[in-house]
Amino acid sequence: MQDNERFSVLLFRLAGAPDTLFAINLFKVLEITNPHHNVMPGMVNHPACLGLAESRGQVLPIVDVSQAVFGQSEESKIWLRCEFSRRQILIAISEVLHLEEALWTALEASSNLPWYAGSNYLTGVLKLEDGKIASVLDMDRVIDDVLGGRENPDIEAPPSLAGKQVVFADDSRLAREQVKILLQKLGAKTCECIDGEDAGNELARIKNECAEAGVPIASVMPLVVTDIEMPKKNGYMVAQQIRSDPAFSGVKVVMYSSLSATETQRHGKECGADEIVGKFSNAALAEAIIKLMC
C-alpha cells in the first residue's frame, strides 16, 4: 500500500548492526529469495559486491549492504530482489522480519537528528506504530558507491531557465548533490530542500515574495524538482500543494524516484507531476527538464 499518507515497509536486519531494525519501501522489493550457490564473479572490484547470480532469467549483481555500510560482511541468509530506478539488484541481508504500514509523517530526516549527523548512508528514521524505531538507509547511495554508473550527460541549457530559481527536494545527500550540479549546468539558481516539508516552506516563502513584488511565481521559479519518498511530506504532497494553489499556475513539476512501479507513475501524474523519471538518471532528468522549459 502506498498513498499520500501511508506506505508499506519491509523490516529487516543486517549483520553489522544486529540490534537495529531497518526498513525499505515495499514497492522496491520484488521478491524474497534464498541465496544461490552458483554465484559468478562480478565485474566490480568492491568488497560489498559479492558477484553475479541469475534470478528470474536475469543476471543481477549482489550487494552486501552490511559490508558497504558497516564494513562487516553479511552471512547472506536472505536475498532481496529489488528494483531501483528500473535497475534490478540482489540485496544480501541477515533476516527478514515482517511487513508494516507506516505514516509518511512518521519518517524523520537524519539531517534533523544530531546523533545521526555523521552517517553517510542513513537517510532517516521511521517511527513505527508500536513505538519502535527503524533506520532507513540511503540505498541509492549504497548502490551507487558499490556499483557505480553515474551519468554525466552533455546538455545544452534552455534559455528560459537561465538565472531562474528552481526548488528541488530530496532527503538523499547524494541525490541532492547530483541534481544541484545538473540544474546549475542548465543555468538555474538552485534552492536545495532536505525533505517535502522543507520544500513546502520554501514554496510558501517564494509565494509571499512574489506577491509583495507583484510578479507571477512562474516568472521567478518556473520549475520544481522533487523526489517522491521523503520524510514528513512526500513528493506527491509537494505536487498537490503546487497544483491546488492558483498562484503557482505555470510552474512545472518534475518528479524523480527509484520507485519504478506503474502505480508510482500513475499516482504521480494524478498529483500533478508533468514528468516522472528514474532517480540517478541524469540524462533522463535533463531531457525532461529541457522538454518542459523549451
Treating both helix axes as pointing N-terminal to C-terminal, what angle do 235-243 and 262-270 enclose, rounded to 10 degrees?
A: 30
**How far is Cα 84 from Cα 143, in angstroms, rounded to an integer?**
9
pLDDT above 90 for 175: no
pLDDT tens per residue across span 240-253? 999 999 999 999 99
Label each residue of 110-140 as H, E or C.
HHHCHHHCCCCCEEEEEECCCCCEEEEECHH
pLDDT tens per residue across span 186-211? 999 999 999 999 999 999 999 999 99
Which strand (E) or helix (H) includes residue 290?
helix 282-293
pTM, to two decimals: 0.74
Q: Position of cell 515482517?
A: 98
pLDDT above 90 for 96: yes
Once rounded to an integer, what is the mean pLDDT over residues 73-80? 83
Return the pLDDT at 115. 44
Q: Position of cell 544486529?
A: 18
Residue 138 vs residue 113, higher pLDDT: 138
Residue 3 vs residue 135, higher pLDDT: 135
- Which residue type occupies 188? A
**How far is Cα 49 from Cα 144, in angstroms, rounded to an integer?**
11
From 40-44, 108-112, 161-165, 252-256, the region with the lowest mean pLDDT: 108-112
Once rounded to an integer, what is the mean pLDDT over residues 129-154? 82
In which band, very low, low, confident or very high, does the pLDDT at 152 lie, cut at 50, 70 and 90? Answer: low
Q: Is the dihedral of CA 116, 89, 127, 167 positive or negative?
A: positive
What is the DSSP secondary structure assignment for residue 40, as one 8-state letter?
B
pLDDT above 70 for 63: yes
Q: Position of cell 522489493?
A: 29
**How far is Cα 186 from Cα 128, in angstroms, rounded to an integer?**
40
